[in-house]
Amino acid sequence: MKTLFLTNEFPPHVYGGAGVHVEYLSRELAKLMDVEVRAFGDQDLTQGRLRARGFPVDTSSFQCPAALKSVFGAAQRAVSWGAAGIDADVVHCHTWYSHLGGILAKLNYGIPLVISVHSLEPLRPWKREQLGGGYDFSCWVEKTALEMADAVICVSRETKQDVERLFEVDPKRLHIIYNGIDPDEYRPDQPMDRITALGIDPSKPYLLFVGRITRQKGIVHLVNAIKYLDPGFPVVLAAGAPDTPEIAAEMKGAVAEAQRTRPDLRWVENMVDKPTVVQLYAHAAVFCCPSIYEPFGIINLEAMACETPVVASAVGGIKEVVVDGETGFLVSLDQMVESPFEAVHPDQFSRSLAARINQLMADPALRQRMAKAGRQRAIEKFSWSAIAAQTKSLYDTLVPR
C-alpha cells in the first residue's frame, strides 16, 4: 500500500501542531508502507520508504489583495499536486490548505480520501482578519471535503462532536485517532546551551508559553494575566509568526505594558527551532496554554513529556490530554461566549490563569509530582507507533484487496 499526504507544513517549514503531526506520522507510517508527502515549500527528501517534496509558488506576481495570496497559492498547489500524477492507494489531507488537492485526487484518480481534522474553520472566525474573503473559501472547501471524504480522523472526542454538529458526515466515517509524542526526543534531561544563548537563566524557575501569536492561542490573555502573577519568577514567551499586523501590534503593546512592572519578562519574538523548544520545555517550571480553541493541543503533550506541569484552558482536546489536578490544572472557559470566541470577562479568565500558575510556582513538590505523572501519561497513551498502526488499519478498510 502507498499513501499520499497533502499538507501545508512539512520540515523544515513547520509552525504548528498539524505540521508536527504530519512529520511524525509520516515517519512512523513509512515503517509500514510507502509514504509520499507533497507540501508547500521547497522540500526534497528521500528516506527509506518516505518521499517528500515541496511545490513552491511565487505569489509576487499575484494582483489579488495580500490577504488572498495564501488562498490562491493553496489552490494553485492543489492543481499542481494533481497534475504531477498520483500513484497512491489513498490520499490523506491535513488542514484546509490541502483539501482542494484531496478533492481533485479523489475525483480524478478514484482513490479514497482521508482527512485529519486538526482544526475547524467555523470555530476560528478570527481567521477573517487574516484571510478576508478567503475565509469564506476556506470554510467552503473544508465543508465540501469533509462531507465527501471516505474517512474523517478526529484528533479528540470533542473534535468528533464538533464535526457531527457542524457538518453532514456519516457517523460511520468518523474515527478518533489522537496526536502523539516521541518521548525519546521530548524528554527532561536536556542541555541548556540554546536557552542560555537566548538570555534565559535556567537556574531560575520560569513560566513558559510556546506558540504562534493568534487569537486561537489566547496569548494576549496570558500577557494580561502577568500583572496578577506573584513576583519572583521569570516569564518566557516564545511567541512568533503573528497572524496579522493588527494582532502583532496588540501583542507588542501588551508585552510593553507588562514589562513595565515585570522586568523579568522575556519575549522571544522569532519562531525557534525544535531543539530550542525542547530545552525551553525541559527547564521550565510551568507551561501555560491559554488557548480559546484547541482540537488537541499537542504543545501540552510536548511539555508533559519533558516533565513540565501544565496550566491550560479546559477546551477541546486539551481536556483529553491534561488530567486536571494530576498532570496540571485546567482553567474553565465558561466565561467565554460560543461565538466569536471573545472573552465576556477576559480579566476573570486572566485572573484564573494567574491563580493556578501562582499555586504551582509556590509549590515545588506539587510541580514535581505533576511532572512525573505527565511524562508517564505521555509515554503510555500517546506513542506515534500506535497512532501509525491505527492509521494503517483505517486505510486497510478503505482500499480493496
pLDDT tens figures, 231-274 = 999 999 999 888 888 889 989 999 999 999 899 999 999 888 99
pLDDT number for residue 15: 83
Does residue 50 lie in a domain region? yes
Looking at the structure, tell me whether residues 52 and 81 fall in a common domain.
yes
Does residue 188 lie in a domain region? no
**Cα 341 to chain center, whole Å?**
18
Looking at the structure, tell me whether residues 274 and 370 fall in a common domain.
yes
Confidence of residue 352 (pLDDT cuts 50, 70, 90): very high
Looking at the structure, tell me whether residues 345 and 289 fall in a common domain.
yes
Looking at the structure, tell me whether residues 154 and 9 fall in a common domain.
yes
Residue 35 has pLDDT above 50, yes or no: yes
Looking at the structure, tell me whether residues 204 and 337 fall in a common domain.
yes
- How far apart CA 357 and CA 287 sit, in angstroms, is 9
Does residue 343 lie in a domain region? yes
Does residue 168 lie in a domain region? yes
Looking at the structure, tell me whether residues 123 and 145 fall in a common domain.
yes
Confidence of residue 151 (pLDDT cuts 50, 70, 90): very high
Looking at the structure, tell me whether residues 334 and 221 fall in a common domain.
yes
The letter for the amino acid at 163 is: V
Looking at the structure, tell me whether residues 48 and 96 fall in a common domain.
yes
pLDDT in tens, 41-80: 999 999 999 999 999 999 999 999 999 999 999 999 999 9
Q: Which three cell numbers stand for residue 108?
A: 480524478
Q: Report how many domains make up the chain.
A: 2
pLDDT in tens, 103-126: 999 999 999 999 999 999 999 888
Looking at the structure, tell me whether residues 209 and 338 fall in a common domain.
yes
Looking at the structure, tell me whether residues 308 and 229 fall in a common domain.
yes
Provide the domain limits for residue 287: 193-381
Confidence of residue 344 (pLDDT cuts 50, 70, 90): low
For residue 175, the 8-state DSSP code is E
**CATH number of the structural domain spanning residue 24:** 3.40.50.2000
The letter for the amino acid at 284 is: A
Half-sphere exposure of 42 (CA within 13 A, CB side): 1
Q: Which three cell numbers stand for residue 32?
A: 509500514
- In contact, 102 and 111? CB cutoff 8 Å: no
Looking at the structure, tell me whether residues 86 and 207 fall in a common domain.
no
Does residue 185 lie in a domain region? no
Looking at the structure, tell me whether residues 267 and 333 fall in a common domain.
yes
